[in-house]
Amino acid sequence: MTGHAPHSLRRRLAGFLVLAAVYLFVEFVIPKPAAVKPEGWRLTGIFLAAVGGSILQPVPAGALVLIAITLASIFGGLTIQQALAGYADPTVWLVMAAFFISRALIDTGLARRIALFFVRAFGGSSLGVAYALSLSDMALATIIPSNGARSGGVILPIVRSISELYGSSPGVSAALLGSFLMTAVYQGVCVSSAMFFTGQASNPLAAQMAGQMFGYKVTWASWFLAGLVPGLCSMAVVPWIVLKLNRPGILRTPAAAEFARSELLAMGPLKRNEKILACVFAAVCGLWVTSGWHGIDITVTALCGSLALIVTGVLDWEDVKGERAGWDVFIWYGGLLRLGKALSDTGVPTELAKGVGSVLSGAGWIALLAIALLLYFYAHYAFASITAHMLAMFPAFAALLVAKGAPMGLVVYAFACFVNLAAGLTNYGTTPAPMFFAQGYVPLRRWWSVGLAVSVANIAIWSTVGFAWWKFLGIW
């Protein structure tokens, strides 16, 4: 253990030196726009260093964000009360409450039961298993905001079990079934992440930024409607494409459906806690969908659902305190939310958009949108985090396009959804990627080639079917 400490310390110091260099470069090398105050420019340096830190990670993301908001109160023109205000934002508590409900879904076994139900219904073929598990992840994404928790904690163990059921293990036998399932189901996870407000932890952050920058409101229900049609199209097409590119040796899998059936039998009928949770799950999702009719804030709904689980004993307070992933998201998300709003208030994104716009002054918004979306999508090769990618590029591109006359709704949903789809490109694109890749079933080259092919399909679907559907909905 002591042998690793110096190396870890050197790595940490090297990371912080890079982040300090980013800040100093912004502060002293890049010319400050005349419309931006000095403290606003310093805040820009802090923000960009924080984004760079989310990539390098000299310390965990939560610790890095705490450092950033503390520095913002010293150098960035914010008081400490203003710097910490993000932790009082309702959206942060919405995500937190959803994490509590997701903990109950996983701990009670209801999430696994849902996944096994889909496998029992559709698991007669290898393609059917991929569809079943992708649909399971999609169903859980309606309320579990961590794609790592739902896919890594629920879906991945079932993928591995079914693969091994057919003698498909890492190595020579991987191609029998496991390699296909790992790639197909992971790509489905990326689609689920794009489909829902709660599909991925930083989706509410994108919605919040849209409200702060343009006054454009994104709700759970509006995102649900926007993602429904293009998402279902991608869900239908993507596993089939993966089947063609990474064809398994075993195409018929009757034992998978039997495995799911036997597992469900072993689980027995719904337990008391599962029944209560199922009612709460349905009530929360129903109230989210109909929030436009009754006017109850979706954060209030989520908190009421969490409290109902605590009062009925489905969750106890130790579960709430022990939700480490949720509290980690709470720290970095609340901090980044405040930093993003403060940065928007400085006018830096607007000035950047003006600068880029002057370079591309001859392009109309349609051509500019196409160029920006392609650059934005494939820039994800450089990112290991959807959140870091979105924070680095969403504000500038969105401000530029809106200034050029592009419809706000089209810009907001396109950039919010595409960044999730882009996570399918690599084996490090979002939290579940290394979980699936580390199983050892898929060679790196195949993972990347499948990711590239699927990216073309997703871009085609979401920029045609998706854009047409959003036009029908009146989003643009």
DSSP string, 319-348: HHHT-HHHHHHHHHHHHHHHHHHHHHHHTH
Asked whether residue 79 is domain-assigned, the answer is: no
Asked whether residue 137 is domain-assigned, the answer is: yes
Between CA 76 and CA 352 the distance in angstroms is 19
* Residue 1: per-residue pLDDT: 43
Vertex 333: Cα angle to 329 and 335 (nearest 5): 125
The pTM score is 0.79
Domain range for 171: 90-324
Asked whether residue 55 is domain-assigned, the answer is: no
Asked whether residue 132 is domain-assigned, the answer is: yes
User: What percent of the chain is predicted at pLDDT more than 90?
Assistant: 47
Between CA 357 and CA 352 the distance in angstroms is 8
Asked whether residue 388 is domain-assigned, the answer is: no
Tens digit of each residue's pLDDT (9 = 90 or more) over 349-396: 667 666 666 666 667 899 989 988 998 899 888 777 788 788 878 888
Short-list 274, 289, 252, CA closest to 124: 252
Length of the chain: 476
CA 55, chain centre distance (Å): 15
Asked whether residue 416 is domain-assigned, the answer is: no
Between CA 285 and CA 221 the distance in angstroms is 9
DSSP H helices, 145-271, are 147, 156-165, 178-195, 203-214, 220-245, 254-267
Point out the residues of the chain with pLDDT beneath 70: 1-7, 349-350, 352-362
Q: Residue 419 in contact with residue 390, Cβ under 8 Å? A: yes
* Residue 11: per-residue pLDDT: 83
* Residue 420: per-residue pLDDT: 96
Asked whether residue 287 is domain-assigned, the answer is: yes
Q: Map tokens 């429904």 to a residue.
A: 228
Short-list 415, 399, 442, CA closest to 178: 442
Asked whether residue 273 is domain-assigned, the answer is: yes
Q: Which residues pair with 252 in a beta bridge?
A: 125
Query: What value does the mean pLDDT of the chain take?
Result: 88
* Residue 353: per-residue pLDDT: 63
Q: Dmax of the chain from CA atoms?
A: 69
Q: Count how many domains the chain has.
A: 1
* Residue 2: per-residue pLDDT: 46
Between CA 393 and CA 152 the distance in angstroms is 28
Between CA 96 and CA 306 the distance in angstroms is 10
Whole-number Cα distances in Å, 294 to 156, 223, 243, 289, 298? 38, 18, 44, 10, 11
